[in-house]
């Protein structure tokens, strides 16, 4: 007899009370249509609204729903990491709660996985209902990252993907703190492929990624996969020092051999400001790396759970798997 495939669906949620029920409905519909056992693993990332209560109610009525409840907001990337730590299925799907990633693509991803691919990620060809600013900064970010990164990170791809259990296990062995999960999934390797999709509008509520979180996220992406900014700092320093040296020679020449050494206050100011600017930029870049080294050395756990019943990952067979009746 063919062994049933078990699917784990990881859904990070942060203040998503307006969408949870709809997300649950759509996911359940899709998963039931597939006719295989599944678990819906919601990670509540320290929501301040009724998100956790709504999920608890769902869990009471439906065995397939599980809640990992963070003690505070640890961030989206940490939430999906916790999901991967606790997921028990043979195939693991990561999906946003706001229905921007359509659950209806999961069967298509599963088909690719059955063909033998170990990671099937969803590449956005269009993004609906997002501001021009978000689209442009996102496009710029993915291209910069691609140019900088030492590994091949696919363009315009979020965390919406299906992974084989093996990939998830490899991900569990990576415990770095400032995580850029989609890059790490590329880094672990395996056979990977893409399917394309149009990213929908958020079903309800507002983005949980304000500019500050977006900047932090892009810095994590670049610093964890590239030393190029550090090298750039070095090159920039070299170019500026070399130009300053040339300018110094010119100044000396003018002072010694010509009569027109007008007290050049403006040029001095310009040089001082420029140099200080460059030095500060370089220090800033160094700071980004040093800060992350500091985070690693502190060796804190990545997250803390409020609900203790999840302490210690359950074995796959201890989990309630729901199959279509
Ligand atoms: N999210 C989270 N913690 C956070 C921010 C976001 O768990 O600190 C979740 C959020 O609930 C959603 C997903 O991460 O399921 C993506 O967030 P969002 O849709 O707000 O980002 P956007 O699509 O606007 O980039
Ligand atoms: Mg979204």
Residue in 26, 3, 10, 294 with CA at minimum distance from that of residue 167 = 10
What confidence tier does 324 reach under pLDDT thresholds 50, 70, 90? low
Q: From 3.30.70.20, 3.90.550.10, 3.40.30.10, 3.30.365.10, which CATH number describes the 7-226 domain? A: 3.90.550.10
Alpha helices in the chain (DSSP H): 20-34, 51-61, 76-86, 106-114, 132-148, 165-172, 181-188, 211-225, 228-257, 265-298
pLDDT higher than threshold 70 for residue 309: no
Query: What does the pLDDT average to over 50-62?
Result: 94
**Are the C-beta atoms of residues 124 and 199 closer than 8 Å to each other?**
yes
Report the pLDDT value the prediction gives residue 243, as an integer from 0 to 100.
Answer: 81
| pLDDT tens-place string over residues 219-273 | 898 888 887 887 787 778 778 877 877 887 887 787 788 876 666 766 777 777 7
Two structure tokens written together for 264: 């050049």
75 Cα nearest atom in ligand 1: 8
79 Cα nearest atom in ligand 1: 7
Query: What does the pLDDT average to over 315-322?
Result: 71
Q: Please list the helix, strand and coil fractions of the chain in percent, rounded to the nearest 5, in that order.
A: 50, 15, 35
Rounded alpha-carbon distances, angstroms, from residue 214 to 75, 98, 103, 281: 11, 17, 24, 20
pLDDT higher than threshold 80 for residue 3: no
Report the pLDDT value the prediction gives residue 2, as an integer from 0 to 100.
Answer: 60
- Assign residue 4 a region (left: φ > 0; alpha: ψ between -120 and 50; beta: otherwise): beta
Taking the centre of ligand 1 as the mean of its atom positions, its distance from the CA of residue 272, in whole angstroms, is 43
Q: How far is CA 271 from the centre of its chain?
A: 40
What confidence tier does 56 reach under pLDDT thresholds 50, 70, 90? very high
Residue in 124, 110, 157 with CA at minimum distance from that of residue 8 = 110
Report the pLDDT value the prediction gives residue 195, as an integer from 0 to 100.
Answer: 93
What confidence tier does 311 reach under pLDDT thresholds 50, 70, 90? low
Residues 6+ apart with CB under 8 A from 223: 178, 229, 288, 289, 292
16 Cα nearest atom in ligand 1: 11
Q: Distance between CA atoms of 19 and 26, rounded to whole angstroms?
A: 11
Taking the centre of ligand 1 as the mean of its atom positions, its distance from the CA of residue 11, in whole angstroms, is 10
| pLDDT tens-place string over residues 112-124 | 999 999 999 999 8
Report the pLDDT value the prediction gives residue 148, as an integer from 0 to 100.
Answer: 86
Domain segments of the chain: what residues?
Answer: 7-226, 228-298
Residues 6+ apart with CB under 8 A from 11: 23, 27, 40, 41, 42, 43, 83, 95, 96, 97
| pLDDT tens-place string over residues 278-289 | 787 888 888 888
Pocket test for ligand 1, best of 9, 14, 51 (most atoms within 8 A of CB): 14
Residue in 78, 81, 86 with CA at minimum distance from that of residue 41 = 86
**Are the C-beta atoms of residues 96 and 158 closer than 8 Å to each other?**
yes
What confidence tier does 325 reach under pLDDT thresholds 50, 70, 90? low
Closest C-alpha residue for ligand 1 atom 16: 96
Taking the centre of ligand 1 as the mean of its atom positions, its distance from the CA of residue 65, in whole angstroms, is 19
Query: What does the pLDDT average to over 207-224?
Result: 88
- Assign residue 294 a region (left: φ > 0; alpha: ψ between -120 and 50; beta: otherwise): alpha
Higher pLDDT, 12 or 238: 12
When the pLDDT of each residue in the chain is averaged and rounded to a whole number, the result is 86
Pocket of ligand 1 (CB under 6 A): 12-14, 16, 45, 73, 75-76, 79, 96-98, 100, 207-209
12 Cα nearest atom in ligand 1: 7
Query: What does the pLDDT average to over 141-162?
Result: 88
Tell me the ligand closest to 74's alpha carbon.
1
């Amino acid at each position: 007899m063919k062994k049933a495939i078990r699917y784990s669906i990881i859904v990070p949620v942060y203040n998503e009370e307006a969408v949870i029920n709809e997300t649950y409905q759509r996911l359940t519909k899709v998963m039931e249509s597939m006719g295989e056992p599944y678990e819906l693993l919601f990670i509540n990332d320290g929501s301040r609204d009724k998100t956790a209560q709504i999920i608890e109610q769902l869990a009471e009525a439906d065995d397939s729903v599980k809640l990992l409840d963070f003690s505070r907001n640890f961030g989206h990337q940490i939430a999906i990491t916790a999901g991967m730590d606790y997921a028990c299925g043979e195939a693991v799907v990561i999906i946003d709660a706001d229905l921007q990633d359509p659950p209806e693509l999961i069967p298509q991803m599963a088909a690719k996985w059955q063909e033998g691919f170990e990671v099937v990620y969803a590449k956005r060809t269009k993004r609906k209902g997002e501001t021009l600013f978000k689209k442009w900064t996102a496009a710029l970010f993915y291209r910069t990252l691609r140019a900088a990164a030492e590994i091949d990170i696919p363009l315009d791809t979020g965390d919406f993907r299906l992974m084989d259990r093996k990939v998830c296990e490899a991900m569990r062995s990576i415990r770095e703190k400032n995580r850029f999960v989609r890059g790490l999934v590329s880094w672990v390797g395996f056979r990977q492929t893409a399917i394309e999709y149009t990213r929908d509008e958020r079903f309800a509520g507002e983005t949980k990624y304000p500019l500050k979180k977006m900047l932090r996220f892009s810095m994590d992406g670049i610093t964890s996969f590239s030393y190029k900014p550090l090298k750039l700092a070095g090159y920039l320093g070299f170019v500026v020092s070399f130009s300053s040296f040339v300018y110094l020679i010119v100044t000396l020449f003018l002072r010694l051999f010509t009569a027109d050494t007008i007290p050049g206050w403006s040029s001095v100011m310009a040089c001082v400001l420029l140099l200080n600017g460059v030095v500060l930029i370089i220090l800033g870049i160094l700071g980004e790396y040093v800060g992350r080294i500091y985070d690693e050395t502190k060796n804190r756990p990545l997250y803390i759970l409020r609900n203790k019943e999840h302490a210690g990952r359950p074995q796959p067979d201890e989990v309630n798997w729901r199959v279509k009746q």
